[in-house]
């Protein structure tokens, strides 16, 4: 078979039916009918569209192989030439991974010391992607906060693992503080999600997409701005992106790739904010220039009020009250100290329907009686009393954990395991630690601790 015909037959554009027809012919004769050769040539010839694509590919390869220089960078707002290869954005500062409430409080001490003159921080969130159909969106697992001095000589990124630390009072105050900016791309959506997840409304949220449109204009070569595009056009840096975002953010310990990815997003948000802030607005969206999203109404929770009561000012106010009111307050304080702090009622239960026995036990519980006292008053077995109260709690009732009479060392063991592994200990391990009590009481205690943790996470 002539070489030219063999080449045509080998073309990937030759129809399978034609190749099948040619195969027996090639075996039987060395000469191919001219009509069949012409048909093969027609099928193998590239279309005009394919020729254009091939020419464009050749042009792109020629550009990519050309010399790339820093002088080729375009001004802010212009599309970058294809010959430009940008350096990756990097972060070499300190990263704190806070997995416990105490670690998070220490991290905020460092943040506040660093953000005195520059109160706006880079902000981002991550959560575990749920692939199961109908499972719903997981709660926020990680909050990333980036801060730096004005000259960038000192920098810090805090990765708060809120699924293990819980939303601490310190984190709540930071989010609600209208003097501290929280900036990022789609940070409005992140703020709404955090409110859905934990009921905390963030103040002074600065949307970078809004700032980019106001100060740079439309994004060159794309419909909308993104953090990566701002890094490219404003910072002249490439923001590395990979599939780490879809990884498990609730694993026992974050791996180096997760830590690097999470820190980089918050750091890039902070740098993008500072770069955009230095650019004069082209056309102000809000007249006086965009600063932040509308501030929410101030929120003061009961926890905040309890913390503020420890301040000197609150102490002075109490001293100004009438003597009888002070005595009454002291009695209430003593009673509250004996009961401990009450948990919130479960938000996942629409209606709580207690049995007569559960109501009897629960009413005495909220009145301040311990399990032992309730069992004695009702002439009930202690274990039956505990099981009855735990059942009421499981139905969604708030409760005084301190009145459940769970030994402190078991509570410490439970929360240390949660901090270290992200999940409560197995019942068999918990029972081994609770050697001083029966297996039934150990099980009820473990359930009560798990319910307490669930309310804190709600």
User: Does residue 318 lie within any of the structural domains?
Assistant: no
Distance CA(124)–CA(188), nearest Å, equals: 11
Counting other chains too, the contacts that 135-141 makes at CB distance below 8 Å and 24 or more residues apart are: 137/193, 138/250, 139/163, 139/197, 139/198, 139/457, 140/193, 140/194, 140/197, 140/198, 141/249, 141/250
Specify the 3-state DSSP secondary structure of 435: coil
How many domains does the chain fold into? 3
The per-residue pLDDT for 343 is 76
User: Does residue 305 lie within any of the structural domains?
Assistant: no
Work out the percent of the chain whose per-residue pLDDT is above 90: 33
Asked whether the beta carbons of 141 and 162 are under 8 A apart, the reply is yes
DSSP per residue, 348-416: T-S-----HHHHHHHHHHHTT--HHHHHHHTT--HHHHHHHHHHHHHTT---BGGGG---HHHHHHHHH
Do 267 and 355 lie in one domain? The reply is: no
- Binned at pLDDT 50, 70 and 90, residue 314 comes out as very low
User: Does residue 75 lie within any of the structural domains?
Assistant: no
pTM of the model: 0.52
Do 57 and 170 lie in one domain? The reply is: no
What digits encode the pLDDT tens for the residues 254-286? Answer: 999 999 999 999 999 999 999 999 998 886 544
**Beta strands, E only, 176-303:** 182-184, 205-207
Do 250 and 211 lie in one domain? The reply is: yes
Q: Which of 227, 262, 277 is the last residue of a domain?
A: 277
- Binned at pLDDT 50, 70 and 90, residue 238 comes out as very high
Q: Which of 225, 243, 277 is the last residue of a domain?
A: 277
What digits encode the pLDDT tens for the residues 374-414? Answer: 988 888 899 999 999 999 888 888 888 889 889 989 988 88
What digits encode the pLDDT tens for the residues 319-358? Answer: 444 344 434 444 444 444 566 777 777 666 556 778 888 8
Q: At 190, which helix (H) or strand (E)?
A: helix 187-198
Do 424 and 381 lie in one domain? The reply is: yes
Do 267 and 365 lie in one domain? The reply is: no
Do 365 and 426 lie in one domain? The reply is: yes
Least Cα distance to 277 among 289, 268, 266 occurs for 289
Find the CATH number of the domain harbouring 368. Answer: 1.10.10
Distance CA(14)–CA(37), nearest Å, equals: 11
Tokens of 33: 């009918």
Specify the 3-state DSSP secondary structure of 96: strand
Asked whether the beta carbons of 202 and 295 are under 8 A apart, the reply is no
pLDDT at 46 over 80: no
Do 376 and 422 lie in one domain? The reply is: yes
User: Does residue 245 lie within any of the structural domains?
Assistant: yes
Q: Regarding predicted confidence, which is higher, 33 or 387? A: 387
Burial of 104 (C-beta count, 10 Å sphere; 0-12/13-18/19+): buried
Do 250 and 113 lie in one domain? The reply is: yes
User: Does residue 11 lie within any of the structural domains?
Assistant: yes
- Binned at pLDDT 50, 70 and 90, residue 43 comes out as low
User: Does residue 45 lie within any of the structural domains?
Assistant: yes
User: Does residue 320 lie within any of the structural domains?
Assistant: no
pLDDT at 246 over 90: no
Which distant-in-sequence residues (6+ apart) come within 8 Å of 130 by Cβ? Answer: 136, 137, 138
Do 50 and 99 lie in one domain? The reply is: no
Do 381 and 257 lie in one domain? The reply is: no
Find the domain containing 376 and state its range. Answer: 340-457
Specify the 3-state DSSP secondary structure of 142: strand
Exposure letters 83-96 (e unless 16+ CB within 10 A, then b): ebebeebebebebb
Least confident stretch, 74-88, 221-235, 405-419: 74-88
Q: At 143, which helix (H) or strand (E)?
A: strand 140-148
Do 262 and 118 lie in one domain? The reply is: yes
Neighbours of 16 (CB within 10 A): 7
Between CA 178 and CA 113, with CA 89 as vertex, the angle to 5 degrees is 35
The per-residue pLDDT for 263 is 95
User: Does residue 353 lie within any of the structural domains?
Assistant: yes
Starting from the edge strand earliest in sequence, which strands make up the sheet with 155-160, in order?
94-98, 155-160, 140-148, 121-127, 182-184, 205-207
Asked whether the beta carbons of 389 and 362 are under 8 A apart, the reply is yes
The per-residue pLDDT for 455 is 78
Q: Which of 237, 261, 277 is the last residue of a domain?
A: 277
Residues, the chain = 458
Query: Which segments of 66-94 does DSSP mark as H helices, in order?
Result: none
Specify the 3-state DSSP secondary structure of 125: strand
Find the CATH number of the domain harbouring 127. Answer: 3.30.420.10
Do 171 and 231 lie in one domain? The reply is: yes
Q: Regarding predicted confidence, which is higher, 74 or 366? A: 366
pLDDT at 57 over 70: no
């Amino acid at each position: 078979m002539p070489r030219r015909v063999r080449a045509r037959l080998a073309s990937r554009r030759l129809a399978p039916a034609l190749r099948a027809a040619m195969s027996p012919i090639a075996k039987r004769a060395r000469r191919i009918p001219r009509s069949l050769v012409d048909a093969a040539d027609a099928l193998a010839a590239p279309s005009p569209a394919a020729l254009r694509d091939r020419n464009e590919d050749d042009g792109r390869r020629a550009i990519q192989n050309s010399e790339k220089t820093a002088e080729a960078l375009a001004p802010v707002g212009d599309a970058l030439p294809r010959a430009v290869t940008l350096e990756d954005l990097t972060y070499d500062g300190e990263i704190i991974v806070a997995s416990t409430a105490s670690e998070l409080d220490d991290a905020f001490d460092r943040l506040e010391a660093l953000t005195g003159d520059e109160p706006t921080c880079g902000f981002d969130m991550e959560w575990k992607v749920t692939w199961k159909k109908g499972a719903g969106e997981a709660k926020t697992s990680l909050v990333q906060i980036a801060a730096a001095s004005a000259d960038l000589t000192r920098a810090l990124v805090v990765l708060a693992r809120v699924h293990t630390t819980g939303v601490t009072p310190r984190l709540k105050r930071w989010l609600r503080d209208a003097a501290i900016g929280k900036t990022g791309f789609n940070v409005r959506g992140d703020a709404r999600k955090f409110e859905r997840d934990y009921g905390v409304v963030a103040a002074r949220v600065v949307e970078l997409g809004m700032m980019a449109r106001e100060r740079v204009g439309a994004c060159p070569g794309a419909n909308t701005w993104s953090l990566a595009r701002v890094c490219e056009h404003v910072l002249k840096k490439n923001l590395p992106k990979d599939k780490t975002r879809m990884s498990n953010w609730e694993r026992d310990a974050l791996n180096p790739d997760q830590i690097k990815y999470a820190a980089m997003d918050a750091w890039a948000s902070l740098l993008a904010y500072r770069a955009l802030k230095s650019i004069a607005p082209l056309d102000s969206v809000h007249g006086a220039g965009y600063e932040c999203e509308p501030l929410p109404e101030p929120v003061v929770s009961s926890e905040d009020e309890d913390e503020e009561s420890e301040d000197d000012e609150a102490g002075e106010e109490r001293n100004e009250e009438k003597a009888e009111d002070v005595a009454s307050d002291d009695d209430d304080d003593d009673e509250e100290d004996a009961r401990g702090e009450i948990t919130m009622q479960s938000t996942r239960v629409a209606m709580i329907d207690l049995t007569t026995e559960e109501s009897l036990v629960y009413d005495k519980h909220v009145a301040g009686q311990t399990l032992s006292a309730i069992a004695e008053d009702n002439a009930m077995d202690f274990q039956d009393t505990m099981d009855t109260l735990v059942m009421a709690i499981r139905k969604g009732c708030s409760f005084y954990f301190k009145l459940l009479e769970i030994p402190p060392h078991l509570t410490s063991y439970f929360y240390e395991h949660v901090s270290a592994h992200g999940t409560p200990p197995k019942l068999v391990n918990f029972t081994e630690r609770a050697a001083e009590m029966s297996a039934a009481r150990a099980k009820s205690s473990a359930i009560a601790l798990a319910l307490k943790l669930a309310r804190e996470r709600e």
